[in-house]
Amino acid sequence: MNKKQQAELAFWKDLYEREGPVSFTMWRMRDANDILRHFPELGDEAGVGLEVGTGLVSVFEYIGDDSLIASIDPLQLHYEKIYTPDNSDIIYRNDSGESIGLDDEYFDWVACINTIDHTLNSRKMLAEIYRVLKPGGRLYFQVNFDDQLTAPHYTKWSTFHVELALAYFTLIRAEIERRDEHNQYRYWGVYQK
C-alpha cells in the first residue's frame, strides 16, 4: 500500500470512528441524495452496474434501484476490517479501476464518482471503464476541481482534463457547481460509450 492509499484508508477509518455507525450512515445517505440530485436516472437504472472506487461503503447501499451492482475498490479488504454492510445486495470486490478483473462489455452503466483523482493512472482507469462498458452504456462521472492537492489525491483536475480524458465517450450532459464550504468546484457528467 502506497502513502496515498494509506491516507485514503486513514480518512475513511477516522470518519467512521469519529461519526459512529448512525452518523456515518446519515453522512453516506446525504452523499447518495446528492448523487441522485445530479444523476436522477441512477435511482431507476436497470441492468448490471459497476461502481469504481467505492470507499468504505457504496453509496448504492442507499440508492434503491433494480440493478445488479458490483462495487470495486483496491482497498476493499482493508475496509472490511472497519465496516461491512449488513444484508447488502451489492457485490464488493477488491479490484483496482486500472485493472478491472471483469469481462469486456459486461456493464450497462458505470459510476465513477469522486474517484478519478484518487488513482495513479487515470488514463488506464478510463480505458478499463470503456472496456467493461457495453456499447451504448452510460458512464456517470464526477470529479472535484480542488484549489490544492491533498493527501489522497494524485492529480488536480479541471474542465480541460475532463474533456481530454473522456474524449472517446460521447457527452450527454454536464454541469459544474461551486462548493464554497470546501473551496472547490464539482464536475458532474453523463457520458455514453
pLDDT, one tens digit per residue, over 55-91 is 888 988 888 766 788 999 999 999 999 988 877 888 9
Q: Give the CATH number of domain 3-192.
A: 3.40.50.150
| pLDDT recorded at residue 89 | 86
Q: How far apart are CA 127 and CA 105, in angstroms?
A: 12
Q: What is the predicted pLDDT for the residue at 104?
A: 96
Would you put residue 103 in left (φ > 0), alpha (ψ -120 to 50) or beta?
Answer: beta
How confident is residue 140, by pLDDT bands cut at 50, 70 and 90? very high
Cα dihedral 113, 156, 137, 103 sign: negative
Strands 133-146 and 48-52: unpaired
Position 51 pLDDT exceeds 80 = yes
> Quick one: which of 135, 67, 59, 130 has its CA closest to 97?
130
- 80-134, pLDDT tens digit by residue? 999 888 778 889 999 999 999 999 999 999 999 999 988 889 999 999 999 999 9
Q: Is 1's pLDDT higher than 90?
A: no
Q: What is the mean pLDDT of residues 162-175?
A: 95
Return the domain boundaries, the chain: 3-192
Alpha-carbon separation of residue 133 from 48, 103, 106, 115, 122 (angstroms):
10, 9, 6, 17, 16
